[in-house]
């Protein structure tokens, strides 16, 4: 493409610039060849029609439709400095979803122990982006640079691997949330399936190939009624599209491990909570609504059955993530060619102590010193399951994983953070 500006019109949802099935059925893409700072690259700009819809018939108001600027000597210097290993025998880790809840904590922990850490995030607006920006500021103060971009942007990912020879990838970028999948299913396919494949395509061709640890989910157990959930249990009955995309990720991981020799470790997180958490999680919005005097929904299963979760504190999850990185074996391929069998693992990371959601509310009431207005409702058929309970014996044996934080202790730390971050009067504190 030799013109400085070339416009592509997407008609009937058939083509896009990457040659992949497009996410949008009507839009205009402007390809602009950009030169500057010693770098040349294509910059893709999306010109959005006001009637833009996802091909699944959902609107895109919750998605971030914008371009990201990257490249140039100063940008490359920041990337290298952030990824520079300070400790002997340390890792150089690319953390996707670094501005997310788990991503922020894992990035900070890796940096503290001397590993090189480069973050990657698209700062979408599934929930308040200002919280993600505050996490970004927290990481920047510790020396972690977060590259802004979409996980499907292979040109950007390829550039990062050209600048830094990552030893490991901690892939935490994903479209989260069980219920939101009913409103915007396309975002889950875009991030959790296409995005994962995009990353694996770059990793398989890297030389050397990195070892990859990635976030699956306890939701893959779906309608499984055998508890506690074990990694050997069936996971072919997902109760939500989110769960289905995470299960698809596990099968995709198997494929890339088998064909290309990528070392892959999946982590099935169980209801992670704590400071800097996600506002769409029950413990977070319960706290917000209790303080505002609003009613909060307490779900119960059929025949007044208890709804319970294996709540797992963020610090315990971080230990599990680092344990997975530390025990990950090297990938066996090079330049897209496999030379031998590679490590493939999946672990539960939970607390092993399910707590009824009603008990969670009681703990919050005591910590906040406010009585909750409870509204008991039937568990809706929107992807939520009645019960989660992790069997963590495999992670204990292989990763040395041992959760130590009970719900009372963890929620006390969360509430302290919440009250400090969200000051009275709706003003957020300085980070």
Residues 116, 93 contacting (CB under 8 angstroms): yes
* Chain centre to alpha carbon of residue 169: 13
Q: Are strands 355-356 and 308-309 parallel, antiparallel or unpaired?
A: antiparallel
Among residues 126, 180, 221, 242, the one annotated as catalytic is: 242
In this structure, are residues 105 and 276 in contact, taking their beta carbons and an 8 Å threshold?
A: yes
DSSP class per residue in 222-281: TT--SSSB-TTS-----SSHHHHHHHHHHHHHHHHHHHH---EEEEEE--EESTT--TTS
Give the residue range(s) of CATH 3.40.50.720 domains in the chain.
Answer: 73-273+316-349
CA distance 13 to 227: 44
Q: What is the mean pLDDT of each run of 10 residues along the chain (431 residues)?
A: 36 37 37 42 37 34 58 96 96 98 98 98 96 98 97 97 98 93 94 98 96 97 91 94 97 98 98 97 95 89 76 98 98 90 98 92 96 83 73 98 97 98 66 44
Q: What is the pLDDT of residue 28?
A: 36
pLDDT for residue 304:
57
pLDDT in tens, 116-151: 999 999 999 999 999 999 999 999 999 999 999 999
Distance CA 36, CA 71 (A): 9
How far apart (Å, rounded) are the C-alpha atoms in residues 257 and 405? 34
Active site residue 242: yes
Tens digit of pLDDT for each residue in 151-196?
999 999 999 999 999 999 999 999 998 889 889 999 999 999 999 9
Q: What is 73-273+316-349's CATH topology?
A: Rossmann fold (3.40.50)
């Amino acid at each position: 493409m030799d013109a400085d500006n070339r416009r592509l019109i997407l008609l009937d949802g058939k083509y896009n610039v990457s040659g992949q099935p497009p996410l949008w059925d009507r839009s205009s893409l402007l390809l602009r060849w950009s030169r500057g700072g010693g770098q040349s690259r294509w910059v893709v700009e999306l010109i959005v029609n006001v009637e833009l819809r996802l091909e699944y018939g959902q609107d895109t108001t919750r998605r971030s439709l914008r371009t990201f600027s990257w490249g140039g000597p100063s940008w490359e210097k920041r990337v290298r400095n952030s990824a520079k290993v300070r400790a002997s025998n340390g890792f150089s880790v690319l953390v996707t979803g670094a501005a997310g809840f788990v991503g922020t904590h894992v990035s900070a922990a890796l940096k503290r122990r001397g590993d090189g850490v480069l973050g990657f995030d698209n700062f979408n607006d599934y929930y308040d982006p200002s919280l993600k920006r505050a996490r970004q500021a927290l990481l920047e103060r510790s020396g972690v640079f977060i590259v802004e971009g979409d996980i499907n942007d292979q040109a950007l990912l390829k550039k990062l691997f050209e600048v830094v020879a990552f030893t490991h990838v901690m892939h935490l970028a994903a479209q989260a949330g069980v219920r939101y999948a009913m409103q915007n299913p396309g975002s889950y396919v875009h991030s959790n399936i296409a995005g994962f494949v995009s990353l694996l395509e770059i990793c398989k061709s890297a030389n050397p190939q990195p070892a990859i640890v990635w976030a699956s989910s306890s939701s893959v157990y779906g309608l499984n009624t055998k508890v506690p959930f074990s990694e050997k249990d069936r996971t072919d009955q997902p109760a939500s599209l989110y769960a289905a995309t995470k299960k698809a990720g596990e099968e995709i991981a198997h494929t890339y491990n088998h064909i290309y020799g990528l070392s892959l470790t999946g982590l099935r997180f169980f209801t992670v909570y704590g400071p800097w958490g996600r506002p769409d999680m029950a413990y977070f919005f319960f706290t917000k609504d209790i303080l505002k005097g609003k009613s909060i929904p307490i779900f119960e299963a059929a025949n007044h059955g208890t709804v319970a979760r294996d709540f797992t504190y963020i610090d315990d999850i971080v230990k599990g993530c680092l344990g997975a990185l530390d025990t990950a074996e090297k990938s066996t391929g090079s330049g897209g060619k496999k030379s031998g069998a590679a490590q493939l693992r999946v672990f539960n990371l939970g607390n092993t102590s399910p707590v009824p959601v009603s008990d969670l509310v009681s703990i919050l009431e005591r910590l906040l010193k406010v009585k909750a207005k409870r509204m008991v409702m039937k568990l809706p058929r929107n992807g939520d399951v009645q019960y989660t309970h992790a069997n963590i014996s495999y992670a204990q044996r292989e990763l040395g994983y041992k959760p130590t934080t009970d719900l009372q202790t963890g929620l006390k730390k969360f509430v302290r953070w919440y009250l400090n971050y969200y000051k009275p009067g709706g003003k957020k504190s300085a980070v």
